[in-house]
Structure 1
């Protein structure tokens, strides 16, 4: 489960449309722009990540880490 303080970083990434690298607990890695948070059809909290050719809705509870791919003052790497 994602803590409130960790979730704040997800919201910041979406608010500023930051390019990020998301690593899932399964080991899968996704690169894209954080665009929004929403619930999927199973009502799980997710982050919408827009890649160059694809958009993913990734469950926040399955995140292992989020790394910012651009320099900004909010965060560099968050571990969940």
Structure 2
């Protein structure tokens, strides 16, 4: 589970549909357009990204860094523990 203040960053990128790059705990990087927040079949919190025309869900607890790849007035990068 992530903190409410960390969750706010995900809400911002989804609200504005920002293009983002997610750095995951396993070293993988996923780039796409932030679309929505949801829960998977196990009821774990996820972010939905549009990647090359398809939807991909990424568990929020697997994300170590969120990078917005377009200039914006909100933030550029957020690190998670």
Please state which band the TM-score falls in when normalised by the shorter chain: over 0.9
Q: What is the CA RMSD across the aligned residues, in angstroms?
A: 0.9
Where do 5+ consecutive residues of structure 1 fail to align? Answer: none
Q: 1:42: which partner in 2?
A: 42
* Distance apart, 1:54 and its partner CA: 3.0
* Distance apart, 1:56 and its partner CA: 0.9
* Distance apart, 1:53 and its partner CA: 3.9
TM-score of the superposed pair, with normalisation by structure 1? 0.94
What is the CA–CA distance in structure 1 between the aligned matches of 2:16 and 2:74, rounded to whole Å? 10
Structure 1 runs (4+) deviating above 6 angstroms are none
Where do 5+ consecutive residues of structure 2 fail to align? Answer: none
The answer to whether 1:62 aligns with 2:62 is yes
